[in-house]
A and B are shown apart, each in its own frame.
Chain A
């Protein structure tokens, strides 16, 4: 158990809909990363938050957005969903700030999104 939790585990929705994926990082970790894993694209970085602020963006679509709240949990919002958005979405966290630099990231179990 990595200490990173994600809800829900599975999500089935229709095209055009909007969903929210939730992530709670390991206790004390300030950085949260979102990744998408799909068969055709592999594992891709979407976005990073550090202590509530956006730190870096990867291959994130404009239809997707994220935020990190004061309690450090994060949400990934996916809207106007398309069939191609079906994938496994992972959240990862790493330490930083006063806790020092942590090079490795710890991954949650993922949310499997199926768009029909």
Chain B
């Protein structure tokens, strides 16, 4: 079975500082990894994905994520945080095989960016 862990319920960072939201995963075979963001009373918005290739993946709104196979991690990063980045962030993994393509989500990390 596949699983995702987001060890931090909340991350606080000052505007302009770099941010990191942590994610570790467990899956059989090659992982397909995703980050989504959820604003209050909104659906989930796709930020970025890792399928194969470069370990550093760039996504929307200046976010990027670093895939580390040996540590089974996929941490979300941004060089300079904005107050508008404050939201709930979810890491997700999906399987490769047909019938296993649903997303398994972590518990979410609330990012609070202080002005």
Contacts and interface: CB of A to CB of B under 8 A. Distances in A.
Contacts of A92: 44, 103
Contact of B43 (A31, A42, A108): A108
B104 interface: yes
Nearest to B42: A109
Contact of A105 (B42, B46, B51, B98): B46
A105 to B, nearest CB: 6
Contacts of B36: 107
Q: Interface on chain A toward B: helix, strand, loop, or mixed SS?
A: strand
Contacts of B90: 43
B99 A107 contact: no
Given A42-B107, A42-B108, A106 B102 contact: no
Contacts, number: 54
B34 A42 contact: no
Interface in B45-102: 45-46, 49, 51, 90, 94, 98-102
B46 to A, nearest CB: 5
A56 B101 CA distance: 8
Classify chain B: how many residues form its interface, as a range.
20 to 34
Contacts of B107: 42
Interface residues of A, number: 24
Interface of A: 2, 4, 31, 33, 35, 42-45, 48, 55-56, 58, 90, 92, 94, 103-110
Given A42-B107, A56-B100, 17 more contacts: A2-B45, A4-B43, A33-B103, A42-B108, A44-B105, A45-B102, A48-B101, A103-B49, A103-B94, A104-B46, A104-B49, A106-B46, A107-B36, A107-B44, A107-B45, A107-B46, A109-B42
